[in-house]
Amino acid sequence: MTEPKLLIVVLAAGKGTRMKSDLPKVLHQVAGVPMLGHVLSLAASAGGEGAAAADLAVVIGPGMDDVRAEVTRRAPHARVFVQHEQRGTADAVLAAREAIAAHTGDVIVLYADTPLIEPDTIARLRAALAAGSNVVVLGFDAVDPAGYGRLLCDADGSLAAIREDKDASGAEREVRLCNSGVVAFRVSGLAGLLGRIGNANAKGEYYLTDAVEIARADGLRAAVVKCPEDEVLGVNARDQLAAAEAIFQARRRRAAMRDGATLIAPETVWFSADTVVGRDVVIEPNVFFGPGVVVEDGVRINANCHIEGAVIGRGARVGPFARLRPGATLGADVHIGNFVEVKNVSMGAGAKANHLAYLGDGSVGAKANIGAGTIFCNYDGFLKHRTEIGDGAFVGSNSALVAPVKIGAGAYIGSGSVITKNVSADALALERSSQEEREGWAAKFRTMMARRKAKG
């Protein structure tokens, strides 16, 4: 049977005052992606494989133009609504009343500051709806339930009510099954049901959680789906942001190792949300992956490397202490050694730069060798220029290649040269002043300086 169309409402209007930041809370990043981005990605996958994409409504606060822009960039099809006053979660959801009223399928409410929910959890919420429940709340067993709303269940396990911590009785506060805030609905006329929620509570707010008791009073069924507590960590302060990062990284490390990579010291390796790591990859300690990195099979990344926006080809070797910046593309079996920086350069198969070099804006041909101390002089103070090195070329140590310049295939550049003109294939290029030697000069100089020092 075909599942009903899904509408996901993402609540992103929180001010995040505890973050103490000029940046809206939901734009703070976990694994290189704003928390809002994680939730929008979850929403994009929520329709399920082969199913129609979910409709998406995002609720923001007034003046949150940067949040609106992030929504538009990541989910152009989403509709954005504004909650003009913060009067509780039910009021926030009803800011998207127009989308809810026009929708006839399932509705799931997510939070833009809860970035760790897994796609399988959303699937389980929908499965509970398909099994006959009208309202399904995502719950968790809290280590410390203080501050959380409690999920109060009947003897048969169905959900009877959600009680906010400040409104709970002493007995209800002993309950450890807590509310994550995430809720799924299969309710005809949902906007009308939510519109009946009042604010007779300790905070005078319109709680989305009250929808459970209203639904039950209408003869509808409510249920709980449980997930691990870590999965529904909400981020309201910097320490919780760090905790979310730690949870993401632990997950990602486990996934990389399950998929065939070796992490020698997993706790020291940091991934971005989009990092791709192949099989039989070995990653030594203290490696950081920024956004946009692909590591193909059989690569070894030695210790203390920083990599972002780079593609590392099969069997390549990187580091230790190497930096790959955006646009670095390493072919198969390339070697990038210690204290080498590569930016916007493609390196052909088998090329090497093993020591102390800066390669910026250009290309290096297959099996070319870049000597220690080589610099691509790519910037003239106004514009960037390219250096192109042909297949099999050899660049001697301590050379400066002043772009724009081309080194032909098989050419040799003598050590210590400053190359400002193109070099033909298979040619030798040297640029040095003549070496001068003055016999006995050093001994005379030492004697003279010793006398000066003695005189004081």
d(CA 79, CA 398): 57
Q: Which backbone phi and psi does 74 adopt, to 5 degrees?
A: -90, -25
Residue 335 a catalytic site member: no
Question: How many other C-beta atoms can be found within 10 angstroms of the C-beta atom of residue 49?
Answer: 7
Q: In this structure, are residues 178 and 151 in contact, taking their beta carbons and an 8 Å threshold?
A: yes
Percent composition of the chain: helix, strand, coil (DSSP 3-state, to 5): 25, 30, 45
d(CA 85, CA 105): 28
Residue 86 CB-density burial (10 A; 0-12 exposed, 13-18 middle, 19+ buried): middle
Q: Which region, left, alpha or beta, applies to residue 32 given φ > 0 means left and ψ of -120 to 50 means alpha?
A: left
The amino acid occupying position 99 is A
How long is the chain?
Answer: 456
As a three-state string, the secondary structure of 313-343 is CCCCEECCCCEECCCCEECCCCEEEEEEEEE
As a three-state string, the secondary structure of 74-135 is HCCCCEEEECCCCCCHHHHHHCCHHHHHCCCCEEEEEECCCCCCCHHHHHHHHHHHHCCCCE
Give the end-to-end CA distance of the chain in Å, rounded to a whole number: 99
Residue 295 pairs in a beta bridge with 277, 312
Question: How many other C-beta atoms can be found within 10 angstroms of the C-beta atom of residue 146?
Answer: 8
Q: Which helix (H) or strand (E) holds 139?
A: strand 135-141
Token digits of residue 362: 């250009």
Q: Is the dihedral of CA 23, 29, 35, 40 positive or negative?
A: positive
Q: H-type helices in 113-237, by residue range?
A: 119-130, 170-173, 190-195, 211-217
Catalytic residue among 84, 306, 355, 385: 355
SS3 257: helix
Q: In this structure, are residues 307 and 329 in contact, taking their beta carbons and an 8 Å threshold?
A: no
Q: Which region, left, alpha or beta, applies to residue 440 given φ > 0 means left and ψ of -120 to 50 means alpha?
A: left
Catalytic site positions: 355
